[in-house]
Amino acid sequence: MGLLSKRIDKQIAAYQRDLIETHYAEVDNMYRQIRIWRHDYRNHIQTMKAYAAAGDWAAITRYLDELETDLATVDTVIKTGNPMTDAILNSKISLAHAKGIEVHADAHIPVRLNISEIDLCCILGNLFDNAIDASLKLPQPQRLIRVYMDMKGTQLYISFTNFTAGGKLPKVGKRFQTTKGDGHGFGLERIDAIVERLDGYLSRNSEDGAFTTEILLPQQEK
C-alpha cells in the first residue's frame, strides 16, 4: 500500500507541475502579445500624425478602426483582486479566444483567499480546460463559456458554464460521461479531492445543452 501511495503522490506532483508550467506559459504568451502591441504604439502615433499633417482624416478613421480591431485581440485583462486568479483566468481567456471561443467573465475577489495557489490553479485550470474542450465540438458561433466568481459571505463561489453538443450529458453513477480519456477523468478527480479536502461544496449539472459546475469554498478574511 505504501508503494502505491508513493506512486500516486508522484503522479499527482507531476500532474500539478505540468499544469502550472502550462498556465505560466499561457500567461507569458498573453503578455508577449501585449508587449508587441505596446512596442508598435509609437509607430501608430507617428502614422496618424503623418495623416493629420496631410489632412487625410478618412485615412485616420480607417487606421483607428484597424487599431481597435487589433486591440481586441489583447484586451482580455480581467482584474479580480487576486493575482493568481488574474493570471489563470487571463491566460485561459487568451487561449479560448485563440480557439474561436467567446468568454464572458465576471470575477471579483475582494479578500485574500485561504487556499493554496496550487489548489486554485488546479481547480480553475481544469474547469477552463474542460469547458474549452467541450466548446470545440460546437460550431464557432455557438462557442461560449461563462465564468463567475465572487464571495458569498465567507465562501468563495466559482461557476463555469459552457454549451455542449448533443444536449444533456449522460451520467455513469454519480459522474457525467465524457468522451475524453484518462487525463480528463484525473482532472475531475483532482477538483473533487481538493473541494472535499477544503470542506467545500461541488455541483455539476447538464441541462438544455449547457454544462455547469458550481463550487463553494470556505474562506476566512486575513
pLDDT tens track, the chain, 222 positions = 566 566 666 666 666 666 666 666 666 666 666 677 677 777 888 888 888 899 888 888 888 888 777 666 555 567 788 877 888 888 888 888 888 999 999 998 877 788 887 888 889 989 998 999 999 999 999 999 999 999 988 899 999 999 887 655 555 445 555 545 444 456 788 899 999 999 999 999 988 789 999 999 998 654
Q: What pLDDT score does 27 carry?
A: 63
Q: Which domain holds residue 190?
A: 83-218
Cell of 61: 478613421
Helix axes 83-98, 2-53, angle to 10 degrees: 70
- Please work out, in degrees rounded to the nearest 5, the angle formed at the alpha carbon of residue 110 by the alpha carbons of 105 and 114: 100
Residue 153 lies in a domain: yes
Q: What is the CATH number of the domain that holds 159?
A: 3.30.565.10
Same domain flag for 127 and 54: no
The sign of the torsion formed by the CA atoms of 172, 175, 179, 183 equals negative
Same domain flag for 46 and 134: no
Question: How many domains would you assign to the chain?
Answer: 2
Q: What pLDDT score does 172 carry?
A: 44
* Strand ranges (E), the chain: 102-107, 144-152, 155-163, 171-172, 175-176, 201-207, 210-218
Same domain flag for 87 and 140: yes
The domain boundary residue, chosen from 38, 72, 106 = 72
Q: What is the DSSP string of 167-206?
A: SSPPEETTEE--SS-HHHHHHHHHHHHHHHHTT-EEEEEE
Same domain flag for 145 and 189: yes
Q: What pLDDT score does 146 carry?
A: 95
Q: What pLDDT score does 116 carry?
A: 84
Same domain flag for 66 and 121: no
Residue 77 lies in a domain: no
